[in-house]
Amino acid sequence: MSVKKNYENAKQAYAKWGVDVDAVIEQLKNVPISIHCWQGDDIAGFEVNQHELSGGIDVTGNYPGKATNPEELRSDIEKALSLIPGKHRINLHAIYAETNGEVVERDQLEPKHFENWVNWAKEQGLGLDFNPTLFSHPKAADGLTLAHPDEEIREFWINHCIVSRKIGEYFGKELGTPALTNIWIPDGYKDIPSDRLTPRRRLKESLDKIFAVETDEKYNLDAVESKVFGIGSESYVVGSHEFYLNYAMKNDKLCLLDTGHYHPTETVSNKLSSMLLFSEKVALHVSRPVRWDSDHVVILDDELKEIAFEIVRNDALDRVIIGLDFFDASINRVAAWTIGTRNMVKALLYAMLSPNEYLKQLQEEGNFTDRLAIMEEFKTYPFGAIWDYYCEVMGVPVREAWLDEVKTYEKEVLTKR
């Protein structure tokens, strides 16, 4: 049976519950996912004076074909985008600057060092997002940056964040869509601190200096990202969830929730409704933690579906900025992007095909029997037929056919690097 015929049959099943599948597909076409560039080169970046990974970040595996220069990375991203339905965005870190062989310290970066990325984004019709890189650097070697007791080191990182926000603003002006510039720092202590307040006071003062330099929100949106612990900061992280949640609310910044940055029993899906009540926008880094912040490739698991449900149920597709953050060097990197991003889009489609308003009504009426029964039955509704059709109309491979394209690309391009 053809993809279109399967789709028409599936539509009828959903229509019985008032779900307009055609309208869902049209809406989904306009939901961008911010795809992280660093999956393609294992977070190495292109600095002339490259440094070892630090800040509790590690990438395991040695699968062949890692991108070693900007042209290779952009080529790999293009291949992944050709296999993912929808029009999306690309998320950059400061270490992906192109300086033409010149050593440019991070506090001296300028928009011109990202001109190639902007020109490429224009050609591809993509928006760009940005992150200052406060790890993998000698001035972050002891695990402290914006909260460092040494004022000179603090100022270095403050200035790096200031120029990064200017670069994000440049992206927004050039591409006609605001960049999300997100600040994450590794600061913390391995063992139990004797003073939790002072480092957090320093972090607050540093952030105040960073945001005192104005950027136009029409072009740049500021976000801050928390973490519960990391390698080298097992006992104490300066930028905790409580710290950044309060800072963001008081200073009108976005609070970014990374799905791997909480205790294993916490779920980001459960936080979204509370966040949306008090914040106009919320930002996400969707990852897959396996026992800790391990940044595995996103799969279509229960939590991913629940995150999508919370976004859709709360009519927040235009209020939640969805980005991805995973890195795996043990598998084909283009495949990793494709798997993870397709799964994020799948989860949104899955949630949009649910009779969410009716289920809300059942809950309000206290009809928990019908609520549970229908939610469970919908798990085996013909979602796959809708997904196949969406891929087909968006001009990307249906089902696992994309894998053959990745294998061909690996044989013709990746293995020759």
Q: pLDDT tens string for the chain (417 positions)? A: 699 999 999 999 999 999 999 999 999 999 999 999 999 999 999 998 887 777 777 788 899 999 999 999 999 999 999 999 999 999 999 999 999 999 999 999 999 999 999 999 999 999 999 999 999 999 999 999 999 999 999 999 999 999 999 999 999 999 999 999 999 999 999 999 999 999 999 999 999 999 999 999 999 999 999 999 988 999 999 999 999 999 999 999 999 999 999 998 999 999 999 999 999 999 999 999 999 999 999 999 999 999 999 999 999 999 999 999 999 999 999 999 999 999 999 999 999 999 999 999 999 999 999 999 999 999 999 999 999 999 999 999 999 999 999 999 999 999 999
Number of H helices and E strands in the chain, helices first, is: 14, 10
CB distance 394 to 326 below 8 Å: no
Angle at CA 244, nearest 5°, toward 238 and 246? 120
Residue 241 among the catalytic residues? no
How would DSSP label each residue in 172-194? HHHHTSPEEEEE----EESS--S
Q: Which helix (H) or strand (E) holds 258?
A: strand 254-258
pLDDT at position 133: 98
Query: Nearest Cα to 37, choosing from 10, 67, 65?
Result: 67
Smallest CA-to-CA distance from 253 within 287, 212, 285 is with 212
User: Could you say which of 174, 225, 303, 328 is catalytic?
Assistant: 225
Catalytic residue among 66, 227, 241, 346: 227
Q: Which of 47, 129, 187, 258 is catalytic?
A: 258
Structure tokens at 190: 């391995």
Which pLDDT score is estimated for 55? Answer: 73
Q: Is residue 225 annotated as part of the catalytic site, yes or no?
A: yes
All structural domains of the chain, each given as residue ranges with its CATH number in brackets, are 1-30+355-417 (no CATH), 32-352 (3.20.20.150)
Q: 318 an active-site residue?
A: no
**Whether 17 is catalytic:** no
Is residue 36 annotated as a catalytic residue, yes or no? no
**117 given a catalytic annotation:** no
Query: Which CA distances in Å does 130 have to 9, 91, 180, 368, 411?
Result: 43, 6, 6, 44, 32
- Contact criterion met (CB below 8 Å) for 238 and 226: no
Q: Which of 107, 222, 293, 410 is catalytic?
A: 293
pLDDT of residue 1: 67
What contacts 79, CB < 8 A, 6 or more positions away? 334, 405, 406, 409, 413
Catalytic site includes residue 295: yes
Q: What is the pTM of this model?
A: 0.96
Q: What Cα–Cα distance (Å) separates residue 405 from each residue in 54, 166, 399, 401, 413?
A: 34, 38, 12, 7, 12
**Which candidate, 237, 275, 95, 234, places its Cα nearest to that of 167?**
95
**Catalytically annotated residue among 38, 117, 184, 402:** 184
Quick one: DSSP state of residue 3? H
Which is catalytic among the residues 41, 76, 174, 295?
Answer: 295
SS3 label, residue 55? coil
Determine whether 52 is an active site residue: no
Catalytic, out of 76, 129, 303, 325: 325
227 is catalytic: yes
- Alpha-carbon gap, residue 183 to 202, rounded angstroms: 15
Q: Which of 79, 88, 285, 346 is catalytic?
A: 285
